[in-house]
């Protein structure tokens, strides 16, 4: 099997691993590092150079991308948007919220199950009134 195919399989496997472990953001940057190693294999570079490119690419992508991703995961409450901005807000129940629907007013927005009617912001279709107040 050609070396570039091995690197392509490794990149796809690492990317799928990233999708299976949301919130960690570790395997994604490493998957990106397999791309230059695969290109090096495609042009006929020796295995030690491919491995060196993979290691350096992994360190570089982790050093650059992971801090950016972590900053987005830990956003201050004032910069949150959408449904995340409403976690912890007080709500007034206007119509009973159950599996069939309901209405709640949160932060001057009239909310119905699955969407915000007056704010035009989407929330997950599976939320309930208590989820909108407490968060996940």
pLDDT by residue (tens digit) across 19-73? Answer: 888 777 788 889 999 999 999 999 999 999 999 999 999 999 999 988 887 777 7
* The Cα angle at residue 73 between residues 71 and 78, in degrees rounded to 5: 80
CA atoms within 13 A on the CB side of 72: 7
| Tokens found for residue 114 | 């699955």
Co-location of 68 and 88 in the same domain: no
Query: Hey, what's the torsion of the CAs at 64, 70, 72, 73, to 10 degrees?
Result: 160
CA atoms within 13 A on the CB side of 101: 6
| Distance in angstroms (rounded) separating the CA atoms of residues 26 and 7 | 18
Co-location of 69 and 82 in the same domain: no
Q: Which residues contact 9 (CB under 8 A, 6 or more apart)?
A: none
Co-location of 86 and 64 in the same domain: no
| Distance in angstroms (rounded) separating the CA atoms of residues 23 and 21 | 6
**87-120 residue pLDDT tens:** 777 778 888 877 777 777 776 676 666 554 444 4
State the residue range of the domain holding 129: 78-134
Number of independent structural domains in the chain: 2
The pTM for the full model equals: 0.54
Final residue of a domain: which of 47, 73, 99? 73
């Amino acid at each position: 099997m050609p070396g570039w195919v091995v690197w392509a399989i490794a990149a796809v496997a690492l990317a799928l691993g990233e999708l299976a472990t949301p919130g960690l953001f570790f395997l994604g940057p490493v998957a990106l590092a397999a791309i230059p190693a695969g290109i090096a294999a495609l042009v006929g570079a020796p295995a030690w150079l491919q491995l060196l490119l993979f290691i350096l690419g992994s360190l570089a992508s982790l050093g650059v991308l992971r801090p950016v991703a972590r900053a987005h995961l830990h956003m201050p409450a004032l910069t949150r948007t959408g449904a995340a901005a409403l976690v912890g807000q007080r709500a007034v129940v206007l119509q009973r919220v159950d599996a069939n629907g309901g209405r709640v007013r949160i932060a001057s927005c009239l909310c119905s199950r699955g969407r915000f009617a007056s704010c035009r912001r989407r929330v997950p279709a599976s939320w309930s009134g208590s989820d909108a107040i407490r968060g996940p």
